[in-house]
Amino acid sequence: MKDYNIETKCVQGGYTPGNGEPRQIPIIQSTTFKYATSEEMGKLFDLEASGYFYTRLQNPTNDMVAAKICELEGGSAAMLTSSGQAANFYAIFNIANCGDHVVASSTIYGGTYNLFHVTMRKMGIDFTFVDPDCTEEELCAAFKPNTKAVFGETIANPALTVLDIEKFAKAAHSHGVPLIVDNTFATPVNCRPFEWGCDIVTHSTTKYMDGHGAGVGGCIVDSGKFDWMTHADKFPGLTTPDDSYHGVTYAEKFGLGGAFITKCIAQLMRDFGSIQSPQNAFILNLGLESLHVRMPRHCENGLAVARYLKNHPKISFVTYPGLEGDKYYSLAKKYMPSGTCGVVSFGFVGGRTAAETFMKHLKLAAIETHVADARTCCLHPASATHRQMNDSELVAAGITPDLVRMSCGLENSADLIADIEQALAKI
């Protein structure tokens, strides 16, 4: 599939059936797999042979779908997880342990912020949050001798800041660590972070990849470009023997392309078990087949709504990186020339109360803790996803109390605008 365009990879990537085999990927609804001898199974446990023995570690359906996402991103290896949260947790914890430090953009998704700032801190991992628009100098000042990774989101949810991937990759690499980018909002249809120097990509496949609000899931993709051995002292988990896995040294045995994902499966999936169900992986694959057809419509609707709101007297601001004049328009044009996403954020002249009135009167757009669905939905982050944050944390995350996030679906844009118009009239 390597030489095909992204549209073809969406439809046919990851699985090529042989003669008489199912055209659609089979759902291997089995927890376990049978072997004729203990010796044969032993080889799998020793990572001497590849094959399936227990679905908590690997399942053929999941692997086919992971292989498709790997092709879409242009990576070397990939794995599915049960959620986007699990993907980001694994991606960091695979290389940062107790006593280590990570540099992260401050405008990341609230769930990821909480995972890093509260839960992973309890595990002894320290985080420094930086303004994604900081200078190279300010970014470099955030690094410490124990820094193991840099993390950001291509388009942040819900702040809609666009990450200057090249700036972040340069800083990460000059400090000998990889850049991890959560590419959920842009999807590989609109942005492929590996082409700009990013080393590891994560996804909440719950969003556009599934695209129908049907299945929670996540994915981690490795570019296979980061050379762990060059920085062996920083990443002992990859460059020294793993006693919990028969003394295997991942970077030696699985090389640049396979070390990160193999370790992540062998250690973290084995111990934490955040596996995606094969049934959900099948549903995810149905979404992936049309991802390249759906993304342009999400972007078209997002832009139409953003342009309408921009000129409305009751609206105080509109944030949409695809909108002419947006703070991130030029970064978006550079990294996502064919479109950004369907999510638009905006605020009200009448403040928080106006936002609440507006939400109450929407008819087509439903109030949901969700984005990137075929159906348009709407959220007031200050009273939902981000309610754990105090006012200064909210501002640092790029959110004001009157901010409403609207995820434009695949409906007719004139219908969406008419719905917004009648709800605004109620304020």
Ligand X SMILES: *Cc1c(COP(=O)(O)O)cnc(C)c1O
The residues binding ligand X (CB under 6 A) are 83-85, 88, 109, 111-112, 153, 157, 182, 184-185, 204, 206-207, 216, 218
Query: Closer CB to ligand X, residue 47 or residue 366?
Result: 366
Rounded Cα gap, residues 66 and 203, in angstroms: 11
Query: Closer CB to ligand X, residue 68 or residue 207?
Result: 207
- Token output for 201: 């990509």
Query: Closer CB to ligand X, residue 61 or residue 107?
Result: 107
Rounded Cα gap, residues 171 and 174, in angstroms: 5
Rounded Cα gap, residues 149 and 96, in angstroms: 8
Residue 398: alpha-carbon gap to chain centroid:
19
Query: Nearest distance from residue 367's CB to ligand X, in Å?
Result: 17
- Token output for 369: 């803790």
Q: Indicate the angle between helix axes 278-310 and 413-425, nearest 10 degrees.
A: 60
Rounded Cα gap, residues 379 and 172, in angstroms: 34
Residue 316: exposure state from Cβ atoms within 10 A (0-12, 13-18, ≥19): middle
Mapped onto helix, strand or coil, the DSSP state of residue 381 is helix
Query: Nearest distance from residue 184's CB to ligand X, in Å?
Result: 4
DSSP secondary structure letters along 296-320: HHHHHHHHHHHHHHHT-TTEEEEE-
Query: Nearest distance from residue 299's CB to ligand X, in Å?
Result: 16
Query: Closer CB to ligand X, residue 83 or residue 249?
Result: 83
DSSP state of 344: E
Identity of the amino acid at 74: G
Query: Closer CB to ligand X, residue 185 or residue 320?
Result: 185
Q: Is the dihedral of CA 35, 37, 38, 40 positive or negative?
A: negative
Strands 179-182 and 77-81, sheet pairing? unpaired
Q: Name the residue number minimizing CB distance to ligand X.
A: 84
Query: Nearest distance from residue 276's CB to ligand X, in Å?
Result: 10
Rounded Cα gap, residues 58 and 66, in angstroms: 11
Query: Nearest distance from residue 166's CB to ligand X, in Å?
Result: 20
Q: What angle do CA 10, 15, 20 make, to 5 degrees?
A: 130
Query: Nearest distance from residue 216's CB to ligand X, in Å?
Result: 5
Residue 212: exposure state from Cβ atoms within 10 A (0-12, 13-18, ≥19): middle
Query: Closer CB to ligand X, residue 29 or residue 369?
Result: 369
Mapped onto helix, strand or coil, the DSSP state of residue 130 is strand
Query: Nearest distance from residue 219's CB to ligand X, in Å?
Result: 10
Query: Nearest distance from residue 206's CB to ligand X, in Å?
Result: 4
Rounded Cα gap, residues 228 and 367, in angstroms: 45
Q: Are residues 343 and 407 in contact, defined by beta-carbon separation less than 8 angstroms?
A: yes
Q: What angle do CA 136, 139, 145 make, to 5 degrees?
A: 125
Query: Closer CB to ligand X, residue 218 or residue 347?
Result: 218
Query: Closer CB to ligand X, residue 156 or residue 172?
Result: 156
